[in-house]
Amino acid sequence: MKIKHLLAGLFILAGVGLLITACNSLLQTRWSEEELASLRTLWIGSLQPLPTDPSNKYADNPEAAVFGQKLFFDTRFSSNGKVACGTCHLPELLFQDGKPLANGVGTTDRRTMTIVGTAYSPWLFWDGRKDSQWAQALGPMESAVEHGGNRTLYAHLITEKYADEYTALFGSLPDLSYLPLNAGPVRDTEAAANWAAMSKQDQETVTRIYVNMGKAIAAYERHLLPGESRFDQYVEAVLNNDYETANTILTSDEIAGLKLFIGEANCTNCHNGPLFTNNDFHNTGVPAAQGLPEDTGRAKGAQQVLADEFNCLSHYSDAQPDQCSELNFLVLDEHQQERQFKPPSLRNVFGRGPFMHAGQFVTLEEVLHHYNTAPAAPAGHSELEPLNLSEEQLAQIIAFLKTLDGSVDADLKWLTSP
């Protein structure tokens, strides 16, 4: 009798176990209404049509995009003839470089961000010190450690190499032959002195050419948009209530990671919307990068964008002042903005290490460990609270992040040097 009881007990236990497993898998693959709403917001199908850029009247001009693509890959626009935008924004690496810090003619203090999808960003760079794609493109071109060039060098190059394309788009090119070969508001003392010696009118003429280069490059970059990932295919199937298909697209670990991502792990506080970024700025206590100067992030970036000669309210912008709503309602609060950085899009994040604004973390495991333990910020106040997730849960989130891999949604002609 005892054996019978024992067997019966085992059967009951096994039954209960099976029931729990069944419930678990059911819970894992069925989503609540609230979760479904969250999944829909992250789905690429929710991506709004490309927003207009009122500050750039050439933004949607096809010839400007073709011209911009040539400029993007032309290494002559640098002090050593070896650096183009495409040097750090490599098409084969989804328009970033995989390095902790960018290498142009020197080394920068920040990691290269991808260009894919930046047409949706109200703020550019990790600190948002630029407010349009065209203004962003002009920053590295006269940075002493990136392209290392200057405005007259570029204006002369346009006159020599691209006169026809330029004039077809922007009108006639004035005679610039009497201007110095190197002049611009740059760190190089000789070029800076040459610039200071030029008349205001000449400075304005040369800067106009420089601005038009930026606007053409932006017209090209607007074509680089994120493509569909396995995650998007999964959500589409789930939204169609086709769980049978959905469960063949993602594994149970990936689904468990997704559930944590939109729930307990609080990832969607910052990584929300179809681009997995809210395009705002946050201090998440990321450690300071060793050997680099102090980086105050958005605290400085907000001041810079307001003072930027190429911002939406500048006379180089094609926008009406009331179209510059981000700048008009800009937050300036050094204390609150101390060491805030922009959350990058998580699309294609899996193979995109090293991570954070100066490549402080080599692996996603390190990133997740940081969020799980929420150390204090080196300066300012971290918004994080410890998550206390298990190693298994962290691994599930990483498994989910891999499902965000996808190609660039662009005509193939845009994905190589012309």
Partner 1 sequence: MNQPHSKSKLVRIAIWAAGSLLVVVALYLIMTSQVMAKMNGEVPADLDYSTTRTSDNELFRVSYVSSQDIVPVNQMHQWTLHIETADGQPVEDATIGVDGDMPQHGHGLPTRPQVTKNLGNGDYLVGGMKFQMGGWWVMDFTISADGQTDAVHFNMMLK
Per CB under 8 A, residues contacting partner 1 are 1-2, 5, 34, 37-38, 41, 264, 266, 268-270, 272-273, 278-282, 325-326, 328-332, 336, 381, 383, 385-388
C-beta of 388: minimal distance to partner 1 in Å?
7
Please state, in angstroms and rounded to a whole number, the distance separating the CA atoms of residues 251 and 293: 43
Tell me whether residue 183 or residue 387 sits nearer to partner 1 (CB atom). Answer: 387
In the bound complex, what is the minimum distance in angstroms from residue 324's beta carbon to partner 1?
11
Q: Could you tell me the smallest distance in angstroms from the CB atom of residue 390 to partner 1?
A: 13
Reference 346, options 66, 131, 44, 50; nearest CA is 44
What is the C-alpha separation between 225 and 221, in angstroms, rounded? 9
DSSP 154-200: HHHHHHHHSHHHHHHHH-PPPP-TTS-SS-SSSSSHHHHHHHHHS-H
Give first-to-last CA distance, the chain, whole Å: 84
Taking the least distance from each CB to partner 1, the nearer of 151 and 282 is 282
CB of 206 to partner 1, least distance (A): 34
Nearer to partner 1, 53 or 202 (CB): 53
Q: Name which of 159 and 323 has its Cβ closer to partner 1.
A: 323
Q: How far is the CB of 311 from partner 1 (least distance, A)?
A: 16
- The CA-atom distances, in angstroms, between 390 and each of 20, 75, 132, 346, 418 are 20, 48, 41, 22, 49
Q: Could you give the CA distance from residue 207 to residue 312 in angstroms, rounded to a whole number?
A: 16
Nearer to partner 1, 2 or 200 (CB): 2
Q: Please, are residues 133 and 124 in contact by the beta-carbon 8 Å criterion?
A: yes
Closest separation in Å from C-beta 165 to partner 1: 35
Pick the closer one to partner 1 by CB: 115 or 387. 387
Q: Based on CB atoms, which residue is closest to partner 1, 68 or 128?
A: 128
Q: Please state the closest distance from residue 373 (CB atom) to partner 1, in A.
A: 13
The total of other beta-carbon atoms located within 10 Å of residue 36's CB is 15
The DSSP symbol for 408 reads E
Shortest Cβ distance from residue 152 to partner 1 (Å)?
Answer: 38
Least separation in angstroms between residue 92's CB and partner 1 is 31
Cα angle vertex 113, ends 110, 114, to 5°?
165
Beta bridge partners of 345: none
Q: How far is the CB of 387 from partner 1 (least distance, A)?
A: 7
Least Cβ distance, residue 16 to partner 1 (angstroms): 10
The burial of 293, by beta-carbon neighbours within 10 Å (0-12 exposed, 13-18 middle, 19 or more buried), is given as exposed
Contact 173/158 with Cβ under 8 angstroms? yes
Nearest-CA neighbor of 151 among 97, 79, 216? Answer: 79
Count Cα atoms within 13 angstroms, Cβ side, for 303.
Answer: 9
Helix (H) or strand (E) holding 20: helix 2-29
- Cβ distance to partner 1 smaller for residue 216 or 327: 327
Locate tokens 């200071």: which residue?
196
Residue 67 is classified by DSSP as H
Pick the closer one to partner 1 by CB: 118 or 279.
Answer: 279
Closest CB to partner 1 among residues 121, 360:
121
Closest CA to 84 of 227, 180, 220: 220
Which of 74/308 has CB closer to partner 1? 308
DSSP 108: -
Amino acid (1-letter code) at residue 266: N
